[in-house]
Amino acid sequence: MKNNFLSQYTKKMRGYDKCPKHENFSEIFWSSLGCFVTIVLISFIDTSSQHLFTEQPLFVAPVGASTIMIFGLPNSIYAQPRNVIGGHFIAALCGVTALILFRETEIFACAIAVMCTMLAMHATKTIHPPGGATALLAVIGGESITNLGYLFAFVPCLTNSIMLIMCGIIFNNIPKSRQYPRFWI
């Protein structure tokens, strides 16, 4: 019985499909251009308006992963507005809460932050994989992030997510071959 289980288990690791073909040049072009313009725009807004909010960074690394999803996988469930906005916002709330409750044990706070983020995203149907990085950032992001407390969920997470979605809507709908978003609610 042990051998049968182990055999079945290891068979799963072989995979069951072939690697997908490359996208056509037009898709690669629009995906890349969308990523470039979005990151430049958010970076510019960050540097020019930082003093208006918190004197803290308004632009955080998980935005890079979300940008790749919105432009590289615009039809993915996980790249839709509900998931991007809700996923980052929930992840930030979970991360800050974990930091507050478990500040003395950073490793545990990180694990709790990501676990709670996964639970909350499932419960709200807002799974967005880069949210895992957002939850971790709330715990290990350094003073410029951790000092924000729950404000981190609003600025930068919510503001970045909204800017990402706006850019995604504008750029992903320019070519005839694309339509974004697939759904809102």
pLDDT tens track for 113-126: 999 999 999 999 99
15: DSSP letter: -
Q: Is 183 exposed, middle or buried (0-12, 13-18, 19+ CB in 10 A)?
A: exposed
- 157: which 2 tokens? 């997470």
Residue 13 CA: distances (Å) to CA of 5, 35, 108:
13, 33, 29
- 185: which 2 tokens? 């609610």
79 pLDDT exceeds 60? yes
50 pLDDT exceeds 80? no
Q: Whole-prediction pTM value?
A: 0.90
What average pLDDT does the segment 63-87 reach? 97
- Do 34 and 71 meet the contact criterion of CB atoms below 8 Å apart? yes
